Amino acid sequence: MTSSTLQLLSCQGALRALGCSAAAQQTQWPCLALLSQLGQQAARGLVTTGHTHIPKAKHDRYRTPPKNYVQLLQHITRARELGRLEQLVKQYGPKFDGVHVAAAMSMLPKLHQPAKPGSRLSPQKVKERLVMPAKLLLQLQDMAAAQVPRMFAREVASVTWALGRCRNLLPQGSSRPSSSSSSSSSNGTCLNSTTLQLVRQLMLRLHQGGSRLLYQGASGAEVAKLLHGMARLRLTWPVRRSVRELCVFVQRHPERMHAKELAAAAWALSKLPVEGEAVSGALAVISEQAVQRKLWLRPVSICSLATAWARLGRSDDMQLLDALAEEAVAQIKDFRPPQLAVLAWAFGRLRYNPGQETLAALSTSAVRQLEHFDALHLGLLLRGLTRLQGREMDKQLLSEVAAGIAKEQAVALNARDAVRILAAFVAAPDAGHVRDVTGMAERIGDALKQRISSIKPEAATNLLVCYSKLPVQHELLLRLADSAAERASDFSMRQWVRMVKACKRLGYSRLQDARLVALYAAADQRLQQHLLGQPRRQQQRAAAHSSCCRKLSSRASMRCSSMQQWTWQSCWASAGR
């Protein structure tokens, strides 16, 4: 007897107990009839309802102590609090092997709660949040170091991968190595000595006996994990030999790696500062295998391959790029916002045009999931589409972005993401007429005006240029001008030239003459410094802009003193003559 038959008989029995008619008992939907009868009885006061507490089972497998290897691993991976993980390490630490240690390490980034953007926590509070995870991580590193001589390939790969995941929680060293040190003593990172020593031990264990551990016990998953962990740790010399050995493994045994593992290996090789024939050969094999197995590529793998090729600048590998674009269109419904953003950014950086169908699919999917984008991925998406489409960007996407940001009460983003978002509207031919673009620019300005001193010169210059091309008047413009005048020595000649041109577009209605005097004086002084020791062409350019700045500053000073009503256009025309 099936479960549906039992359900039917139980509902008919309940209807019979309530005294319902035979017709009601033989209805096609007895469950609905039962609910209807219960509602009628409750309305008449004939049936009372109550809440019954059902206690949790005493023998819940995640509440009872672990009794074997697998149960201990399950308890570690299903810990929901940092205190629970610390309790497991303290109570069952002697029973841990390399896989247990790696699992505990990989859980730390999930259980650690960093400060959210816009929380404005003090540096002291941020450090206090890292005390307990960092302490537990050091304890786990000591446990892993004691087990290195007994580790197999799977354990070495798992611990290396877990260390890469914990990169932001690792205690940093005192300083970076000096440039005068030899290549054997420079590691290219500022990790502490405990982590570096553990990585050295893991790599030595991997290469014992002529890399016997790698070729006899490693699968494609272990190779991908090793490369991924090394890339996340940003190491150079401690892993140089290991990277070459792993690249040789990829060339010899590509059939032992799945499509997602090939993509992860390509992403890692693009991050590692290691070059040579072995790396080039591995990338060629990965490209060939990815084209052959394109039907097995999922969105994460597609984005990993596109990102790797964008970092490496391999825009001539059209066969792989065409395969990635084809699969992206076929699986566009499975792409999440971060994956859409990364794919658009990678295609834009490669200057690879995937076709109108792919671009339209990216824009349509982005509009559908726009509320789930954060500032970083929204900036990457718009940056990539701007490079690919330019003045032909999807107006619906721009309108939805402007409306979404304009209706937010508080926007949390940094200057770099703000520049990427604003640059997309600047590139559009009718950006000023896009709905809610003014409200969007005002929200972004409100988010950045309190952090002017922390904005780098390049970002400050780009912000001023973007705002000068949009029909927006905001206090951020005045603060950027004041900050540039105060930090004149931090700006390069190119940045000052761009700022002077931006001020030309801004005009007197959006900047005040007193600020223009200070800004042009600082620009003149900085450009004069560039006249010495520069090529003739740059000297002529700097001299022309410096003369222009002096004339504009003089006109602005006269305007402040005599209050003559000159317009900005006449002022600039006079300077040009």
Pair 22, 170 in one domain: no
The pLDDT value given to residue 291: 94
**Do 132 and 200 share a domain, yes or no?**
yes
Q: Are residues 158 and 282 in the same domain?
A: yes
DSSP secondary-structure letter at 189? S
pLDDT, tens digit, for every residue of 62-110?
567 888 999 999 999 998 888 889 999 999 999 999 999 999 999 998 8
Q: What type of residue is 398?
A: L
More confident residue, 329 or 441: 329
pLDDT confidence of 575, banded at 50, 70, 90? Answer: very low
Domain boundary among 280, 296, 312: 296
* pLDDT at site 468: 83
Give the integer Cα–Cα distance in Å for 452 and 114. 24
Residues in a beta bridge with 172 = 191
Quick: pLDDT tens for 497-551: 787 777 777 765 555 555 556 666 666 666 565 555 555 555 555 555 555 555 5
Q: Do 225 and 95 sit in the same domain of this protein?
A: yes
pLDDT, mean of residues 235-243: 76
Are 161 and 14 within one domain? Answer: no
d(CA 275, CA 312): 11
Q: 15 lies in which domain range?
A: 3-43
Residue 153 sits in the same domain as residue 288: yes
Report yes or no on 94 lying in a domain. yes
pLDDT for residue 567: 36
Same-domain pairing of 13 and 146: no
Cα 238 from Cα 175, distance rounded (Å): 18
Q: Which of 54-63, 122-131, 310-319 has the highest mean pLDDT?
A: 310-319
Give me the numbers of helices (H) and strands (E) for the chain, helices first please.
28, 0
Rounded distance between C-alpha atoms, residue 363 and residue 370, angstroms: 10
Phi and psi of 304, rounded to 5°?
-65, -45
User: Are 11 and 100 part of one and the same domain?
Assistant: no
Residue 107 identity (one-letter amino acid):
M
Nearest to 213 by CA among 144, 153, 161: 153
Please check whether residues 272 and 203 belong to one and the same domain: yes
Collapse the DSSP code of 191 into the 3-class scheme (helix H, G, I; strand E, B; otherwise coil) and give the result: strand
- Please indicate whether residue 102 or residue 111 has the higher confidence score (pLDDT): 102
Residue 496, in any domain of the structure = no
Q: Do the domain assignments include residue 147? A: yes
**In this predicted structure, what is the pLDDT of residue 11?**
59
Q: Which two tokens stand for residue 123?
A: 């540096």
Task: Give the lowest-confidence range in 162-166, 177-181, 443-447.
Answer: 177-181
Confirm if 438 and 472 have CB atoms less than 8 A apart. Answer: yes
Residue 477 CB coordination number (10 Å): 22
Final residue of a structural domain among 296, 315, 344: 296
Residue 172: phi, psi to the nearest 5? Answer: -90, 155
Residue 396 within any structural domain of the chain: no
Among the ranges given (62-66, 170-174, 240-244, 290-294), the one the predictor scored with the smallest mean pLDDT: 170-174
pLDDT in tens, 327-349: 999 999 999 999 999 999 999 99
Q: Show the DSSP H helices in 331-435 as ranges.
A: 337-350, 356-368, 375-389, 395-406, 415-427
Same domain, residue pair 89 and 9: no
Q: What is the pLDDT of residue 485?
A: 76
Q: Which single residue is written with the structure tokens 């076929």?
A: 330
Say yes or no: 205 and 282 in one domain: yes
Q: Which residues contact 339 (CB under 8 A, 6 or more apart)?
A: 299, 300, 302, 303
The total number of structural domains that make up the chain: 2
Q: What mean pLDDT is reported for the chain?
A: 78
Buried b (16+ CB within 10 A) or exposed e, 349-367: bbebebeeebbebbbebbe
555 in a domain, yes or no? no
Inside any domain, residue 450: no
d(CA 482, CA 502): 14
Q: Is residue 463 part of a domain?
A: no
Asked if residue 568 is part of any domain, the answer here is: no
Where does a domain end: 296, 315, 348? 296
pLDDT score for 267: 96
Per the document, the length of the chain is 577
Residues 37 and 128 in one domain: no
Q: Which residues contact 105 (CB under 8 A, 6 or more apart)?
A: 137, 140, 144, 159, 162, 163, 165, 166
